[in-house]
Structure 1
């Protein structure tokens, strides 16, 4: 097994589909487009079932994980027996997923009573019905701090009530080779007494012994510039892969770039973008070019110019990881999505690269920004998966030793 700290283990993929292998069995609830399953598959897990209500995301999942059945519907109606039947086994190693808690997202309005905040209860219910050896739940960082951690304590208590020890941590996707400053919270848990709960150590960062963060340039510099042709369905790569990340991204990919499309900026956005350099946002534009509603943002109570940063109309810095890729990455007025070299929003393929999806991963249907923005970055999932594999393997080996003794 490759350790998570090995750069080749993080960046290389075998390019195979999601149905083969003989590793631990995982069921992916709230699977979306399949980023979590893709990373766990790269780590050696066998995805056996996906569940999601979004028909477009479900189509994407089926296409990229052939042979893995997807339950397309409301999680409330899914039962453990149905999951057993589709998985072809009652011996499930891991239930994983990211139940939506968008009411706690730091990138939108926080609404405590948003019904999506309570989908975790069905995650807990299905863990109880299936009784996997472990579970993995990923979610937005805001749920950790909302109401001084009360929501997080509810989740821990719910798992404890069904006999699972649980622990949580915050992770930054960039710490695991993803070219994106995406913060998330992870819950893991087990019903097995001799599994010691722990989390993977970062492999990238600024500390001693860590690899440098993967930058935006390292992620997308081989993708061609668009010029004025925003709608070309397929394009030649600009160059051969430059570095390990691009080798990973292009493993098993077509010979041409797909989903690399854009559109011209609006007149207002274009006039602002002309004044915004790499690593700069709206505050760098002269006051005279700002729409009236934005001029108030430039001063504080004493009338002086604000010196803090805003990521509205922010042009990405090629020498750093991107900011969080959200479902709004096609709208430069909503956040840090201006291309570093061209006056346009980043493309679907560039966003997918920032999320660490390989180029062979194709998104179907519509709502590509929602599918890509909501996904778990596969390389983050792979790092977690490699760590969980070690925990499960250690428990298995200890169990075998006790049986022999």
Structure 2
């Protein structure tokens, strides 16, 4: 028996890939047509709604519920809303941010109230903890008064647990800090242990969080993980003729010289000899960080966070550990633990592994690593089986 799930803000389908083994996905939502094309290449597009979640009417959601659940409640609601507005790079302060994307998290509550899922899985950047709208989200989804009773009788209540995790602790060969929130539907009241509280710095916490969390599983090193895929050696600007996604950006003459003078497996711009005049003037100024820019990854360690700029040697430690080039799209996707057969598209017509490399890089960088999601999905599945 497969349990039922909904995947909101599904993106390229990283969490859906993790869901497929144990859950029947009855609905996925993605508003961007090109990203939705990537999703459709890898998953059943019949359950995919290509629409702004705010414009999906209650009537449509109730129809999905009636057709798929036969009067039962949903087993799992997945929600991985856009994180850019919550990022540490956001110029707005957390207390007065006006980024419209941040309000999308409240749509999760609307869907939750209709489907009353047994479990909730939520992922975002760790900095979301500092945002007032996230505090409001916690209080509304929890739906408990200070005495542990339901605040709104006709809405579900949840015991929550949220922690900042590093993906490397869940089988992903990448340092990637994210906030994971899980919730389990409460049916017995009062439940004072699950009420949202705040510490002296105004950060929310729960006195007794949900006693459910997957065990940590240390990831293999980057070199150990990638060696099984036997990727072809390519040069800067080349594409593997057997895999269009194994393609990397070209390098200018200066940047090619820079990476050639960067030690293999973890070297950085601090290793360049001054006599070569390879450094940038802006990097000589005081208080300039970004030490990873123009650096190489290290096969004997873990990848840095794969971002939307992961194909650019100039935007982080995205140089290949051994070859004189930046990492390819395929390598970035593998580091995000997508299967080697996973297809991406940067085109509206959905041709696999073709189109805008920037668009594909954004899809890969924004995805939840499949193995990170799998750790939690398997945990929900195991708990559901008990009942």
> If the length of structure 1 is used for normalisation, what is the TM-score?
0.76
2:239 is aligned, of 231, 238, 241, to 231
Match of 2:291 in 1: 310
User: In the aligned structure 1, how far is the partner of 2:362 from the partner of 2:33?
Assistant: 12
1:180-219 equivalences under 5 Å are 180-193=174-187, 197-204=211-218, 213-219=219-225
1:141 is aligned, of 102, 119, 126, to 126
Moved more, 104-113 or 265-274: 104-113
User: In the aligned structure 1, how far is the partner of 2:160 from the partner of 2:59?
Assistant: 24
Give 1:31 deviation, angstroms. 0.2
- Structure 2 unpaired stretches of 5+: 144-154, 189-208, 348-355
User: In the aligned structure 1, how far is the partner of 2:307 from the partner of 2:27?
Assistant: 26
Does the CA contact (< 8 Å) of 1:41 and 1:382 recur in 2? no
Does the CA contact (< 8 Å) of 1:231 and 1:263 recur in 2? no
1:377 is aligned, of 363, 369, 372, to 369
1:82 aligns with 2:60: yes
Does the CA contact (< 8 Å) of 2:174 and 2:303 recur in 1? yes
1:27-46 equivalences under 5 Å are 27-42=6-21, 44-46=22-24
Give 1:53 deviation, angstroms. 0.7
Match of 2:196 in 1: none
Could you say if the C-alpha distance between residues 285 and 228 of structure 1 is closer, same or farther in structure 2, counting changes exceeding 3 Å? closer
1:227-266 equivalences under 5 Å are 227=235, 230-234=238-242, 257-266=243-252
SS of 2:383 mapped into structure 1: helix
Cα displacement string for residues 31-72 of structure 1 (whole angstroms, at most 9, x for unaligned residues) = 001001111223x12222110111111111112112542111
User: In the aligned structure 2, how far is the partner of 1:97 from the partner of 1:197?
Assistant: 21
Could you say if the C-alpha distance between residues 319 and 386 of structure 1 is closer, same or farther in structure 2, counting changes exceeding 3 Å? same
Match of 1:154 in 2: 136
Could you say if the C-alpha distance between residues 350 and 109 of structure 1 is closer, same or farther in structure 2, counting changes exceeding 3 Å? farther
Q: Give the alignment's Cα RMSD to 1 decimal.
A: 2.3
1:285 aligns with 2:272: yes
SS of 1:386 mapped into structure 2: helix
SS of 2:282 mapped into structure 1: helix
> If the length of structure 2 is used for normalisation, what is the TM-score?
0.79
1:347-362 equivalences under 5 Å are 347-362=328-343
Number of matched residues? 332
Cα displacement string for residues 89-128 of structure 1 (whole angstroms, at most 9, x for unaligned residues) = 2331111021113122235655632111121011111111
1:270 aligns with 2:256: yes
- Structure 1 unpaired stretches of 5+: 1-21, 205-212, 235-256, 301-305, 397-405
